[in-house]
């Protein structure tokens, strides 16, 4: 067992000691010196009390305690009532008046005993002995008459006598407590709305020996200390009417109905809604003011308003706090005061036109959507029951007509003058005259067909019959002469020339160019020239093959497979020509057949364009010819550039001939015929077509002349009619 | 049937169908036009693959060693980016390729025009006045007159394209100065002659093509008849 050492004298004290037995000073600072524990001898008594009680009979102990409680019970009750608030005391008093007195459950009075108890002759022997002796007997002494099973259940020392139980019941009843009995501290007398009698009796009726022991454990000095305290003043007895009023708020508190607004706003199908949807309503119900602060007049007014048609307004007004209602009332009062002061002196004004035109859109709009009701409660959907939500369907369903704007244009005089001038300028353009008579297309169609058929017929006749009426050209253009001289000089050299042939003409003009170029290519083949074809046109490689095949057929001794190489298509236009002029081996590395062209026997040892003996260009395109002149000619230096062009490109290329950038040129059938004239070719292709060409040109000239005369005569007749 | 004869007959009928345009626009002519367009496109695609992409891009990428592949990877990437021009949404990815093509093409064209055309034409306009070297065996007078006509025609043609006018004080309209009006009129004559020559050349070229086609038809029909 631990001990407590006194901090003042150092003496050892038992653990339950409060004050030092040596110096009599307090061992603890927080212990009230007045509430000092009982002396050592008294504690000894408490410790031995249980053993003492075992030896004593239960009836004796209860009798003693009953006496003690009768002495201290009134004091204890008075002390407890001094701590009870007034309202609780009134409740208790009222309940005591209303509820039947628990004294009816007091121990049975002798006169109320049943008849068999009053007649001693009918009593059993053991009861008579008890009544005569009036001394509790141990169970062992009376156990002779008890059955064996009852002895085993009760035990020898724990089962009290029947007489000892009755005083205990009276002791723990409220009535007895009020009169001086032991007041059990665990009884919740202060619970509102509950009757103490029901709780007490129901709970403590099955009295056991433990309960008895607890009651017996109360020391005697405790009763003496309680009895020594002064008796507190009893609270004033309430009047009979006051408890009734106080009970009203109790009834209101207990049976407080749910706020009417929440009940009205609850959705009809509450079973489908989650539980959290009802939280606002529960919150409002929880925030019901204190009973003393309830304003029943406001509540009645709200209920009355709910029944009427103005339910939302009444709800909002009832929901508003008092301070807000007062503020609104003040605002209304101020407005009324302002109107009453200013209204009599003001006249109804008219809005000026300019101000009317400047007013905002909301003022000009005839109808605007009704403003959103902030107190609107969402009736359906997952947000049902909430206020102040943004309206969804209202914006869509509510339609307002668009505002009407004025179409009148406000212009100044200067602007009006300018507009008038502009209108006079375009008035002729906007004037719609009578639709012209639809002309028949038949004469034009007939005329066009007649011209075509006549031309084709004439050409066919010239080709078929070949009359030889057209004379060969006697005047040869100087560029054709230069072309011929250059070719003759190169082919007459000891070493066969190697010629780079650029083929840039479309298949549609191959009839002209291939005919002209055939004579030139035959002359190059006759001189055993090496020909390397390259083209800026996609169809160039095929045209080159066709040209070589036709010309090679006329020169059987020429080995085209060895002396001709087709470098194919050169993509990139002018850029490709620049690359060709810079490094032909990289610009056109391989032939159409996939052979490394610059390693072939024909082109072996050549690294630049200037290594070619001549450059011959077959073209019907002015732009491509100019690109050749601009990109390749500066790179080849003195290497001659010979051009065989279509008749349509010759006029545009003539300046380059005059400037010397084109060494020689043959253009069209005329140039081809002149070249054949120079070469003295007897079976030239140009010669076979010359009659047809001349006939066709003559016919075209005749058509142009006839057409000009015809339109001239028609204009003369028109002017005559107008005159 | 020999292949040459077959192709000759095909060419014969195709030529007949094209010449049917003399009778007006018809379905046969439109059919032949569509055939030509389709054949040209297919031929161009095959030609570009076999003569451009395969020997100049694909084969070098597969055969050239690694250090030299970069030269071919760059144009390959640029070419692939150029394909995004087919999509309006992704066409911006092809802008670098187009910028390269346009920039290089413009630089090459401008440089060639300056050195090849501008300087060459100026030199050609001056050369007739070099009386020391008379060309063509003509007299110096003929050469000088030719040079004067050429120079006059060039200046007058340029004057025709001068559209500036000086505003008069009392009128809202303006008029060209007399020193501009007269050469412009003369230049208009030169321009008309030039356009006439171009038209004659186009007509002559078309007539030559027609003659060659009709001669082909005759050459096809003549053996059949005989």
| C-alpha gyration radius of chain A | 69
Instruction: Tell me how close the Cα of A714 comes to any Cα of chain B, in angstroms.
Output: 24
What is the pLDDT confidence band of residue A337, given thresholds at 50, 70 and 90?
A: low
Rounded CA separation A477/B183 (Å) = 29
CB contacts of A575 in chain B (<8 Å) are 104-105, 108
CB contact under 8 A, B208 and A689: yes
pLDDT, residue A714, reads 92
The answer to the question of residue B60 being in a domain is no
In degrees to the nearest 10, what's the CA dihedral of B147, B151, B154, B160? -130
What is the pLDDT confidence band of residue A22, given thresholds at 50, 70 and 90?
A: confident
**What does the pLDDT look like over B133-155, one tens digit per residue?**
666 566 888 888 888 998 899 89
pLDDT, residue A325, reads 56
The answer to the question of residue B124 being in a domain is no
Rounded CA separation A696/A702 (Å) = 10
**What does the pLDDT look like over A592-638, one tens digit per residue?**
888 888 888 888 888 899 999 999 999 998 999 999 999 999 888 88
pLDDT, residue A111, reads 47
Query: How far are the Cα atoms of A72, A126, A127, A250 from residue A167, in angstroms, in the given order?
Result: 17, 20, 17, 37
Judged by a CB distance cut-off of 8 A, whether residue B202 touches chain A is: yes
Considering only CA atoms, which of A679, A365, A377, A692 is closest in space to residue A519? A679
- Least confident range of A118-122, A346-350, A555-559, B172-176: A118-122
Most confident of A198-202, A235-239, A656-660: A656-660
Residue with the two structure tokens 């002519």: B29
Considering CB atoms only, which of B55, B202, B215 is closest to A590?
B55
Higher pLDDT, B82 or A251: B82
pLDDT, residue A428, reads 79
CB contacts of B4 in chain A (<8 Å) are none
Among all residues of chain A, which has the CA nearest to that of B214? Answer: A460
Is A378 within 8 Å of A404 (Cβ atoms)? Answer: no
Strand partners, A568: A534
Is A262 within 8 Å of A377 (Cβ atoms)? Answer: no
In chain B, % of residues over pLDDT 70: 95
What is the pLDDT confidence band of residue B34, given thresholds at 50, 70 and 90?
A: very high
pLDDT, residue A394, reads 62
Q: Count the domains in chain B.
A: 1
Is B157 within 8 Å of B190 (Cβ atoms)? Answer: yes
Q: Evaluate the CA torsion angle A542, A547, A550, A556 in order and state its sign.
A: negative
Considering only CA atoms, which of A586, A549, A600, A594 is closest in space to residue A568? A594
The answer to the question of residue B140 being in a domain is yes
DSSP state of A374: T
Higher pLDDT, A300 or A175: A300
pLDDT, residue A467, reads 81
Judged by a CB distance cut-off of 8 A, whether residue B145 touches chain A is: no
What is the pLDDT confidence band of residue A359, given thresholds at 50, 70 and 90?
A: low
Considering CB atoms only, which of B47, B51, B202 is closest to A648?
B202
Query: In this structure, what are the phi and psi dihedrals at residue A413, rounded to the nearest 5 degrees?
Result: -65, -40
pLDDT, residue B175, reads 77
Q: Is the predicted pLDDT of residue A329 greater than 50, yes or no?
A: yes
In chain A, % of residues over pLDDT 90: 22
pLDDT, residue A457, reads 93
**What does the pLDDT look like over A684-722, one tens digit per residue?**
788 889 899 999 999 999 999 999 999 999 999 999 988
The tokens describing A693, both together, are 């060409």
Determine the straight-line distance between the first and last CA of chain A, rounded to whole angstroms.
156
Long-range CB contacts (within 8 A, 24+) of A117-121 = none
Considering only CA atoms, which of A528, A531, A530, A533 is closest in space to residue A558? A528
Chain B interface mutation, best of A448, A512, A650, highest count of B Cβ atoms under 10 Å: A512
Considering CB atoms only, which of B22, B108, B209 is closest to A574?
B108
pLDDT, residue B28, reads 92
Considering only CA atoms, which of A430, A523, A538, A444 is closest in space to residue A480? A523
What is the pLDDT confidence band of residue A128, given thresholds at 50, 70 and 90?
A: low
Rounded CA separation A499/A612 (Å) = 6
pLDDT, residue A246, reads 46
CB contact under 8 A, A569 and B51: yes
Is A708 within 8 Å of A719 (Cβ atoms)? Answer: no
Considering only CA atoms, which of B212, B192, B114, B148 is closest in space to residue A647? B212
pLDDT, residue A411, reads 85
The strand pair at A498-504 and A614-619 is best described as parallel
What is the pLDDT confidence band of residue B176, given thresholds at 50, 70 and 90?
A: confident
What is the pLDDT confidence band of residue A286, given thresholds at 50, 70 and 90?
A: very low
Rounded CA separation A503/A514 (Å) = 10
- Least confident range of A356-360, A675-679, B76-80: A356-360
Q: What is the mean pLDDT of residues A451-477?
A: 87
What is the pLDDT confidence band of residue A489, given thresholds at 50, 70 and 90?
A: very high
Rounded CA separation B23/A453 (Å) = 9
Rounded CA separation A439/A299 (Å) = 97
3 state SS of A637: coil
Sheet holding A664-667, edge to edge: A564-569, A530-535, A498-504, A614-619, A641-645, A664-667
CA angle A93, A94, A100 (to 5 degrees): 95
CB contacts of A512 in chain B (<8 Å) are 205, 208-209, 212
Q: Evaluate the CA torsion angle A298, A304, A307, A308 in order and state its sign.
A: negative
Rounded CA separation B157/B109 (Å) = 24
The answer to the question of residue B198 being in a domain is yes
pLDDT, residue A562, reads 87
Q: What is the mean pLDDT of residues A530-544?
A: 92
Whole-prediction pTM: 0.55
Q: What b-and-e string marks burial along B89-117, b requiring 16 or more CB atoms within 10 Å of the CB?
A: eeeeebeebeeeeeeeeeebbeebbeebb
Strand partners, A499: A531, A614
Q: Is the predicted pLDDT of residue B24 greater than 80, yes or no?
A: yes
What is the pLDDT confidence band of residue A351, given thresholds at 50, 70 and 90?
A: confident
Q: Is the predicted pLDDT of residue A320 greater than 60, yes or no?
A: no
CB contact under 8 A, B202 and A629: no
pLDDT, residue A393, reads 64
Determine the straight-line distance between the first and last CA of chain B, rounded to whole angstroms.
19
Higher pLDDT, A345 or A198: A345
Considering CB atoms only, which of A463, A648, A655 is closest to B218?
A463
Strand partners, A533: A501, A566
CB contacts of B210 in chain A (<8 Å) are 455-456, 459, 511, 696
Considering CB atoms only, which of B56, B117, B136 is closest to A630?
B117
Q: What is the mean pLDDT of residues A505-529?
A: 90
Chain A interface mutation, best of B44, B150, B205, highest count of A Cβ atoms under 10 Å: B205
Considering CB atoms only, which of A464, A630, A650 is closest to B116?
A630
SS (H, E, C) A143-207: CCCCCHHHHHHHCCCCCCCHHHHHHHHHHHCHHHHHHCCCCCCCCCCCCCCCCHHHHHHHHHCCC
Query: How far are the Cα atoms of A22, A169, A225, A359, B15 from residue A73, in angstroms, in the given order?
Result: 37, 15, 12, 90, 142
Judged by a CB distance cut-off of 8 A, whether residue B158 touches chain A is: no
CB contact under 8 A, A626 and B198: no
Among all residues of chain A, which has the CA nearest to that of B138? Answer: A478
Considering only CA atoms, which of A546, B213, A513, A468 is closest in space to residue B221? B213
Q: Is the predicted pLDDT of residue A44 greater than 70, yes or no?
A: no
The answer to the question of residue B218 being in a domain is yes
Strand partners, B167: B174
Query: How far are the Cα atoms of A267, A374, A388 from residue A273, in angstroms, in the given order?
Result: 9, 24, 20
Q: What is the mean pLDDT of residues B102-127?
A: 89
Query: In this structure, what are the phi and psi dihedrals at residue A569, rounded to the nearest 5 degrees?
Result: -85, 135
Q: What is the mean pLDDT of residues B34-49?
A: 93
The tokens describing A202, both together, are 């129901």
Q: What is the mean pLDDT of residues A145-164?
A: 51
pLDDT, residue B157, reads 92
CB contact under 8 A, A592 and B51: yes
Interface of B with A in 18-57 (CB under 8 A): 19, 22-24, 40, 43-44, 47-48, 51-52, 55-56
Task: Give the domain range for residue B205.
Answer: 131-226
In chain B, % of residues over pLDDT 90: 50
Most confident of A189-193, A392-396, A497-501, B178-182: A497-501
Interface of B with A in 98-137 (CB under 8 A): 104-105, 108-109, 112-113, 115-117, 120-121, 123-125, 127, 135-136
Instruction: Tell me how close the Cα of B24 comes to any Cα of chain A, in angstroms.
Output: 8
Q: Which residues touch A226 (CB under 8 Å, ≥6 apart)?
A: A72, A75, A76, A79
Q: What is the mean pLDDT of residues A365-376?
A: 58
The answer to the question of residue B61 being in a domain is no
Mean pLDDT for all residues in chain A: 70
Among all residues of chain A, which has the CA nearest to that of B221? Answer: A464
Considering CB atoms only, which of B113, B201, B211 is closest to A693?
B211
Q: Is the predicted pLDDT of residue A355 greater than 50, yes or no?
A: yes
pLDDT, residue A335, reads 57
Q: What is the mean pLDDT of residues B183-202?
A: 92
Q: What is the mean pLDDT of residues A405-427?
A: 86
3 state SS of A5: strand
pLDDT, residue A242, reads 45
**DSSP states of A467-516:** ---SPPP----HHHHHHHHHHHHHHTSSSPPEEEEEEE--GGGHHHHHHH
Considering CB atoms only, which of A459, A541, A634 is closest to B116?
A634
Considering only CA atoms, which of A499, A625, A584, A536 is closest in space to residue B116? A625
Q: What is the mean pLDDT of residues A6-11?
A: 79
Instruction: Tell me how close the Cα of A582 comes to any Cα of chain B, in angstroms.
Output: 13
In chain A, % of residues over pLDDT 70: 53
**What does the pLDDT look like over A232-265, one tens digit per residue?**
455 555 444 444 444 455 444 444 444 444 444 4
Q: What is the mean pLDDT of residues A414-429?
A: 88
**DSSP states of B85-152:** GGSTTTGGGGHHHHHHHHHHHHHHHHHHIIIIIIHHHHHHHHGGG-TTS--TT--HHHHHHHHHHHHH
Higher pLDDT, A405 or A204: A405
The answer to the question of residue B115 being in a domain is no
Interface of B with A in 81-100 (CB under 8 A): none
What is the pLDDT confidence band of residue B79, given thresholds at 50, 70 and 90?
A: very high
The number of C-alpha atoms within 13 Å of A366 and in the hemisphere containing its C-beta is 7
**What does the pLDDT look like over A103-121, one tens digit per residue?**
444 444 444 455 555 555 5
Q: What is the mean pLDDT of residues B186-211?
A: 93
CB contact under 8 A, B116 and A668: no
Is A19 within 8 Å of A25 (Cβ atoms)? Answer: yes
pLDDT, residue A124, reads 62
Higher pLDDT, A84 or A705: A705
CB contact under 8 A, B127 and A509: no
Q: Is the predicted pLDDT of residue B13 greater than 90, yes or no?
A: yes
The tokens describing A389, both together, are 């939500």
Considering CB atoms only, which of B22, B120, B123 is closest to A456?
B22
Is A182 within 8 Å of A215 (Cβ atoms)? Answer: yes
What is the pLDDT confidence band of residue A160, given thresholds at 50, 70 and 90?
A: very low
ipTM: 0.87
Q: Is the predicted pLDDT of residue A29 greater than 70, yes or no?
A: no
Rounded CA separation A455/B206 (Å) = 12
Query: How far are the Cα atoms of A144, A273, B171 from residue B180, in angstroms, in the given order?
Result: 164, 95, 20
CB contact under 8 A, B212 and A656: no
The answer to the question of residue B107 being in a domain is no
- Least confident range of A12-26, A510-524, B18-32, B148-162: A12-26
Among all residues of chain A, which has the CA nearest to that of B118? Answer: A630
């Amino acid at each position: 067992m631990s001990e407590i050492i006194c901090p003042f004298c150092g003496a050892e004290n038992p653990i339950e000691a409060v004050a030092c037995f040596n110096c009599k000073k307090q061992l603890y600072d927080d212990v009230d010196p007045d509430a000092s524990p009982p002396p050592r001898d008294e504690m000894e008594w408490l410790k031995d009390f249980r053993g003492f009680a075992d030896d004593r009979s239960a009836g004796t102990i209860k009798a003693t305690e009953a006496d003690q409680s009768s002495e201290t019970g009134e004091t204890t009750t008075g002390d407890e009532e001094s701590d009870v608030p007034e309202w609780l005391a009134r409740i208790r008093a009222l309940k005591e008046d209303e509820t039947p007195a628990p004294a009816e459950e007091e121990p049975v009075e002798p006169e109320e005993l049943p008849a068999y108890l009053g007649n001693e002759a009918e009593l059993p022997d053991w009861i008579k002995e008890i009544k005569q002796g009036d001394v509790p007997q141990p169970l062992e002494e009376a156990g002779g008459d008890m059955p064996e099973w009852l002895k085993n259940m009760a035990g020898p020392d724990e089962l009290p006598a029947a007489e000892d139980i009755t005083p205990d019941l009276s002791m723990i009843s409220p009535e007895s407590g009020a009169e001086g009995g032991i007041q059990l501290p665990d009884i919740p007398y202060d619970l509102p709305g509950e009757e103490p009698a029901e709780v007490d009796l129901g709970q403590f009726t099955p009295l056991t020996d433990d309960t008895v022991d607890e009651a017996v454990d109360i020391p005697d000095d405790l009763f003496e200390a309680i009895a020594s305290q002064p008796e507190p003043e009893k609270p004033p007895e309430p009047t009979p009417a006051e408890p009734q009023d106080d009970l009203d708020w109790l009834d209101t508190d207990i049976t407080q109905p749910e706020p009417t607004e929440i009940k009205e706003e609850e959705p009809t199908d509450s079973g489908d809604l989650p539980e959290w949807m009802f939280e606002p309503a529960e919150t409002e119900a929880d925030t019901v003011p204190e009973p003393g602060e309830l304003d029943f007049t406001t509540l009645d007014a709200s209920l009355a308003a709910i029944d009427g048609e103005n339910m939302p307004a009444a709800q909002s007004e009832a929901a508003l706090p008092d301070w807000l209602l007062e503020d609104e009332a003040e605002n209304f009062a101020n407005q009324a005061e302002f109107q009453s002061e200013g209204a009599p002196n003001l006249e109804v004004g008219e809005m000026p036109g300019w101000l009317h035109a400047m007013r905002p859109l909301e003022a000009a709009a005839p109808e605007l959507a009704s403003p959103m009701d902030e107190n609107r409660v969402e009736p359906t959907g997952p947000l049902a029951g909430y206020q102040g939500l943004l309206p969804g369907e209202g914006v869509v369903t509510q339609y307002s007509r668009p505002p009407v704007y004025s179409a009148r244009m406000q212009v100044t005089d200067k602007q009006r003058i300018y507009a008038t001038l502009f209108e006079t300028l375009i008035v002729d353009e906007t004037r719609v005259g009578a639709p012209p008579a639809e002309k028949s297309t038949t004469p034009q169609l007939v005329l066009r067909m007649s011209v075509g058929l006549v031309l084709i017929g004439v050409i066919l006749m010239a080709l078929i019959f070949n009359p030889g009426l057209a004379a060969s050209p006697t005047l040869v253009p100087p560029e054709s002469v230069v072309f011929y001289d250059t070719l003759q000089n190169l082919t007459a050299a000891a070493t066969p020339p190697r010629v780079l042939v650029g083929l840039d003409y479309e298949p549609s003009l191959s009839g002209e160019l291939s005919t002209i170029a055939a004579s030139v290519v035959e002359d190059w083949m006759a001189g055993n020239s090496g020909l390397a074809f390259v083209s800026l046109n996609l169809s160039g490689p095929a045209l080159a093959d066709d040209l070589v095949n036709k010309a090679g057929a006329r020169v059987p001794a020429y080995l085209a497979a060895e002396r001709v190489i087709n470098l194919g298509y050169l993509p990139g236009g002018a850029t490709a020509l620049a690359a060709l002029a810079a490094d032909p081996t990289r610009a056109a590395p391989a032939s159409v057949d996939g052979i490394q062209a610059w390693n072939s026997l024909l082109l072996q040892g050549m690294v630049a364009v200037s290594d070619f003996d001549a450059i011959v260009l077959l073209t019907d395109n002015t732009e491509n010819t100019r690109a050749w002149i601009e990109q390749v000619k500066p790179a080849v230096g003195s290497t001659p550039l010979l051009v065989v062009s279509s008749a349509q490109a010759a006029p545009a290329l003539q300046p380059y001939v005059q400037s010397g950038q084109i060494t020689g040129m043959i253009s069209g059938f005329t140039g081809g015929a002149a070249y054949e004239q120079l070469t003295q070719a007897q079976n030239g292709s140009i010669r076979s077509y010359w009659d047809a060409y001349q006939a066709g040109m003559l016919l075209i000239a005749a058509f142009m002349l006839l057409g000009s005369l015809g339109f001239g005569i028609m204009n003369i007749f028109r002017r005559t009619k107008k005159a | 049937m020999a292949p040459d004869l077959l192709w000759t007959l095909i060419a014969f009928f195709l030529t007949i169908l094209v010449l049917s345009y003399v009778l007006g626009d018809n379905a046969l002519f439109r059919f032949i036009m569509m055939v030509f367009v389709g054949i040209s496109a297919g031929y161009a695609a095959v030609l570009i693959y076999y003569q451009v992409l395969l020997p100049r891009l694909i084969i070098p990428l597969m055969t050239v060693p690694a250090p030299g592949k970069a030269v071919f990877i760059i144009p390959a990437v640029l070419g692939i980016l150029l394909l995004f021009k087919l999509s309006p949404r992704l066409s911006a990815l092809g802008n670098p390729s187009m910028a390269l093509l346009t920039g290089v093409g413009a630089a090459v064209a401008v440089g060639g025009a300056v050195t090849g055309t501008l300087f060459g034409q100026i030199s050609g306009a001056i050369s007739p006045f070099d009386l020391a070297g008379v060309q063509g065996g003509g007299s110096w007078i003929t050469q000088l007159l030719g040079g004067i006509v050429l120079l006059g025609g060039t200046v007058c043609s340029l004057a025709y394209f001068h559209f500036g006018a000086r505003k008069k004080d009392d009128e809202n309209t303006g008029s060209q100065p007399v020193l501009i009006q007269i050469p412009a009129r003369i230049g208009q004559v030169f321009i008309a002659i030039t356009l006439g020559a171009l038209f004659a050349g186009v007509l002559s070229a078309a007539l030559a093509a027609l003659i060659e086609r009709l001669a082909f038809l005759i050459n096809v029909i003549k053996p059949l008849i005989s």
